[in-house]
Structure 1
Amino acid sequence: MLEDLYIECPNENIRKEVLKNWESVLLSGEDFGILPGLTADYLMMTDGRGIRGLKPVMLLMCGDHGICKYGVSAFPQEVTVQMINGYGRGTAGANVMARHAGAGMIVVDVGTNFDLHGFSHVRQCKIAWGTEDFTQGPAMSYDQAVAALETGMRIADEVIDNGCNLLETGEMGIANTTSTAAIAAGFLDLPAELTVGRGSGINDERMKIKTEVVRRGLEINKPKPGDGLDVLCKMGGYDHAGLAGMMLAGAARHVPTMIDGVNATAAALIAYGINPRCADYMLCSHLSSDLSAKKMLEVLKLKPIVHAGMRLGEGTGASLAISILRSALDTYRELTGD
């Protein structure tokens, strides 16, 4: 499945036509800011098919991380399953914002450390019971990484077959910002001090531990900069892998992905390392306040739609940006008569 992946360049002529249509309906001095470019980008990525209206679906990938035991997060690993339970009740912030964005939500267990078979709302796709401790060796094997990527690809293909024309990233897994910092450091060839952020709002003591964990992981594994699959195997999480697979499959089908916060951006970096052309089918929802976010977005050449100071993750920023995209497309259709 991964071996057969082919991604075409999007049709730039569609983008030019949409921008020309915007210019034809705006009076002198009228300025819709980012909206013309946003609609042009989206319609280019979808070969113009997105003009019929947005049908977004969030794939919320869940996975646990072996480095959680070091106390790198403000929360214990049990919070992963507590949050997944909340998604089933529809009471989490991710649910509320997805509903406002008109997005469906599919919760996927790609690699949590919990038995979720009693959760009827969860797709059971567990590759392993969490990743390995990457301070002692690779987080996952090559075969496990490919299996997780292909899980994301399969589910993305399913929702696209059912009419989805915009994928949305969501993720849950306590300690995943530590793996994200390790992915960014490994891929960009940066020291841990330049990629480790406060994630869930950790104090200075936990920040030192988190930085040292990433530093040790880099030293032990020596990931190859720019090699998405190698970095994923050595430093990543199953949540990252599922999201990266989703983005790759969407790009191959001309269905863009709305990227959420720093964890989803790390997944986007993995996907880019596997096939750089997939970045042509990415939209960046917002600028995460975490340290490595801006550095990764520069490599991906993505610009945030909003600057809202958000750092919750779980697809919340992506849902906010989808609401803006929907308004932009509605405005374009009504003004141009398309």
Structure 2
Amino acid sequence: MPIEFAEVPRPDDLPHTTSRRPFGTLDTLADWLVACQGQSPPTPPRRPRIVVFAADHGIAAKGVSARSPETTRRLVEELLEGGTPLGVLAGETGSGVRVVDVAVDSEDSGEFKIRRGSGSIDVEDALTDDETEQAVRVGMRLADAEVDAGADLLIPAELGVGVTTASSTLVAALTDTEPVAVVGRGSGIDDNAWMRKAAAIRDALRRARPVITEPLALLRTVGGADLAAIAGFLAQAAVRRTPVLLDGLAVCAAALLAEELAPGARAWWMATHRTTEPAHALALEHLDLSPLVDFGIAEGAGTGAAALVSLLSMAATLRRTPV
């Protein structure tokens, strides 16, 4: 049956006192929490949860990344052991981490696995129609599961080689931008890999143009299981009235589709930081979201958003303190 989201509720428009509390970014965070929670002063998040969607992308075989395609499996193992930068930051902020294999190219199976990797989007679809719908529903189920378990702040993240190529293609398609204007260095590629990446996005964009107005078809054609699942996760989190911290390019590319699937969802999201990827800046502009900080981080992978969890808690605590 077709995917349908419940109507997205609007965050409560409560009066703020920013003019009398000149704390800049901290006030911005506190105001957002007030609106999302429907109470003033807000409560610091007590159960933040980071959900990492892991997947491989077939386009990685075309030499568009500084990492080899099999790297994703190793990174998943490291994250599960808490040894990655995201794992370290999550531990410092008391954020729980859930790693979900939706399309890692391995023999491992799991409740949420859609397939092994995705198609090479320059010459073939990333997913089938059924796989696209299944991935979006996986994201919805995970959002429901986390909220039902008590999560009061969600952070989606991605993990997979080739994801910035697919994400950049989605952003270029939805913002009507030429391929060369969205190509970044991603994992730290050299000039030759940059040219291969630009060519891959050019070819993928040609395939995407006929379905630009159809969110699910666009995810099927040039997205991936991780991006489709993140889109479903973001949309459903908004339906469940749960604030979300947006991270880097992949998450914001998926957010563009989530807003199409569930109009108004972006009111429940806060853009935490800006990466060095040009497509990320374009996605944020299209969503009309201003990032809080610029860490100079090249990729997303949840690290930028995770670093802002403590700041969000401090902003809520400060709002509860008379000045």
- Range into which the TM-score falls when normalised by the shorter chain: over 0.9
- SS of the equivalent of 2:211 reads coil
AA partner of residue 239 (structure 2): A
The number of equivalent residue pairs is: 321
Letter of the 2:81 partner, please give it: R
Aligned to 1:39: 30
Q: Which amino acid aligns with 2:4?
A: E
Instruction: Describe the SS at the equivalent of 2:229.
Output: helix
Q: Aligned runs of 1:140-155 on 2, under 5 Å?
A: 140-155=127-142
Q: Could you tell me which residue of structure 1 aligns to residue 143 of structure 2?
A: 156
Which residue number in structure 2 is paired with residue 120 of structure 1? Answer: none
Match 1:75 to one of 55, 67, 72: 67
TM-aligned CA distance change 1:333 to 1:49, over 3 Å: closer
Match of 1:238 among 203, 221, 225: 225
Distance 1:147-1:48 versus aligned 2 partners, 3 A rule: farther
**Kindly tell me: are residues 174 and 136 of structure 1, through their superposed partners in 2, closer, same or farther at Cα, counting changes over 3 Å?**
same
Q: Does 1:282 align with 2:282?
A: no
Indicate whether 1:219 and 2:191 are aligned.
no
| Cα deviation code 1:67-90 (max 9, x no counterpart) | 111010000011100000001211
CA distance in 1, matches of 2:37, 2:229: 22
User: How far apart, in 2, do the equivalents of 1:192 and 1:102 lie?
Assistant: 39
For residues 193-225 of structure 1, the C-alpha deviation after alignment (integer angstroms, 9 at most, x for no partner) is 111111011011000000101111122343433
* Identical counterparts, % of pairs: 30
Q: Distance in 2 between matches of 1:221 and 1:44?
A: 37
Q: Quick one: distance in 1 between partners of 2:194 and 2:258?
A: 28
3-state DSSP class of the match of 2:187?
coil
Distance 1:50 1:213 in 2: 49
How far apart are the structure 2 equivalents of 1:49 and 1:270? 31
Correspondence 1:107 to 2:103? no
Are positions 1:298 and 2:285 aligned together?
yes
1:266-306: per-residue Cα shift (whole Å, max 9, x none)? 11111112223111111111011101111110111111111
- CA offsets 1:143-196 (integer angstroms, 9 cap, x no match): 211111110111111111111111102110101000011111111122211111
Residues 116 and 124 of structure 1 are in contact (CA less than 8 Å); yes or no, is this contact kept in structure 2? no
Q: Give the TM-score normalised by the residue count of structure 2.
A: 0.94
2:171 equivalent to 1:184? yes
Q: Distance in 1 between matches of 2:309 and 2:213?
A: 29
Is 1:3–2:19 an aligned residue pair? no
Moved over 4 A (4+): none
Alpha-carbon separation, structure 2, partners of 1:135 and 1:48: 48
SS at match of 1:60: strand
- Contact 1:167 1:258 survives alignment (8 Å): yes
Give the CA deviation at 1:50.
8.9
Q: Is the 8 A contact 1:305 1:321 kept in 2?
A: no
The amino acid that maps onto 2:281 is: K
Structure 1 match to 2:237: 250
Contiguous gaps of at least 5 residues in structure 2: none
Which whole-Å deviations, capped at 9, do the CAs of 1:232-256 have from their partners, x for residues lacking one? 1111121111211111111001101
Tell me if 1:86 matches 2:73: no
- Determine the C-alpha separation between the residues in 2 that align with 1:315 and 1:48: 28
Check the 8 A contact 1:196/1:292 in 2, yes or no. yes
Cα separation, 2, equivalents of 1:256 and 1:43 = 11
Q: Distance in 2 between matches of 1:227 and 1:281?
A: 23
Bigger shift: 285-294 or 225-234? 225-234
> 40-49 or 324-333: which moved more?
40-49
The one-letter amino acid paired with 1:40 is D
> What is aligned with 2:322?
335
User: How far, CA to CA, are the matches of 2:156 and 2:204 in structure 1?
Assistant: 26
- Structure 1, residues 292-330: CA drift from partner, whole Å, max 9, x if none? 111110111111111110123221000112221111011
- 1:317-332 counterparts in 2 under 5 A? 317-332=304-319
1:316 and 1:50 mapped to 2: Cα distance?
28
